[in-house]
Structure 1
Amino acid sequence: MIIGLGSDLCNIDRIQGSLDRFGERFEARVFTDVERAKAARRPFTKAGTYAKRFAAKEAFSKAVGTGFKAGVHMKDIGVVNAPSGAPTLALTGGARARLDAMIPEGHSALIHLTLTDDHPWAQAFVIIEAIPSLKD
């Protein structure tokens, strides 16, 4: 069953402006080490790489219904790649706690994430699904 849905549209030029103005401070405050390493490998599309991840964080915060409050922080939400290469989310801290609180007993969470960009826009959709846990 679907228990959360969120989307976000982010302006790549706005992210570039934050990078230009705040640089390392902005990156360290908002993005995980994994996200920062990926962006560093993409110097010509760094702002777009960050904008997609920023949109994913916003979309997740909407899917769990809190926004960035109730202990949910941007750095607790990290975009990573599954072994297949598909993007997904790695959660820590308040983001993980909020998701765990939403999942009905006897279920586990499955997060679906899709990212896209077409300058000047980056977009993310998050669907959180509760799936029955396997029984012994």
Structure 2
Amino acid sequence: MIIGIGSDFSDARRIARSIERFGDRFLDRVFTPGERRKADQRKLRAETYAKRFAAKEACSKALGTGLSHGVFWRDMEVVNLPSGQPTLMLTGGAARRLAALVPDGYEPHIHLSLTDEGPLTAAYVIISAVPKTGV
């Protein structure tokens, strides 16, 4: 069952300006150390950050809170499965909100799609709950 859907668009030029203006203060507030390592190794650094920014916004919408009610930027981390598929790992307030949304006997699955065209990026998040196996 679907328990949340969110989408967001971001402009890498805007992210690049924020990095230029605020530097580590912006990056430390929004991105996890793992996300920073990945983005800082990429040729298209601002685009990589922009996709992750959009993913976090989309996830916060799918959680139904936005970036409020104890859900913070760094509670959501874009990670890759062994297949390379992106997903989100939630901690802190985001993980607590997710747990509150999932019915007993179910487990959450977070589906993330990222795309870009030039400096524009988009992210779509679907949070679903599936019956636990072996229950």
Q: Which residue number in structure 1 is paired with residue 108 of structure 2?
A: 109
> What is the TM-score normalised by the length of structure 1?
0.97
Correspondences of 1:1-136 after superposition (within 5 Å): 1-42=1-42, 44-136=43-135
Offset of residue 19 of structure 1: 0.6
- How many residue pairs are counted as aligned between the two chains? 135
**2:66 aligned counterpart, secondary structure:** coil
**1:99 aligned counterpart, secondary structure:** helix
Query: Percent identity of the aligned residues?
Result: 57
Offset of residue 74 of structure 1: 0.4
> What is the TM-score normalised by the length of structure 2?
0.98
Offset of residue 120 of structure 1: 2.1
> What amino acid is the match of 2:94?
A
**2:74 aligned counterpart, secondary structure:** helix
| Residues in 2 aligned to 1:34 and 1:82: alpha-carbon distance in whole angstroms | 14
| Residues in 1 aligned to 2:103 and 2:80: alpha-carbon distance in whole angstroms | 26
| Residues in 2 aligned to 1:104 and 1:127: alpha-carbon distance in whole angstroms | 16
Runs of 4+ residues deviating >2 angstroms: none
Offset of residue 11 of structure 1: 1.0
| Residues in 1 aligned to 2:39 and 2:83: alpha-carbon distance in whole angstroms | 20
Offset of residue 119 of structure 1: 1.7
Q: C-alpha deviations, 1:26-55, integer Å up to 9, x for none?
A: 11110001100001111x311000000000
State the Cα RMSD in Å: 0.8
**2:39 aligned counterpart, secondary structure:** helix
Offset of residue 18 of structure 1: 0.2
| Residues in 1 aligned to 2:40 and 2:134: alpha-carbon distance in whole angstroms | 43
Q: Any stretches of 5+ residues in structure 2 without a counterpart? A: none
> What amino acid is the match of 1:3?
I
> What amino acid is the match of 1:39?
A
| Residues in 2 aligned to 1:135 and 1:87: alpha-carbon distance in whole angstroms | 27
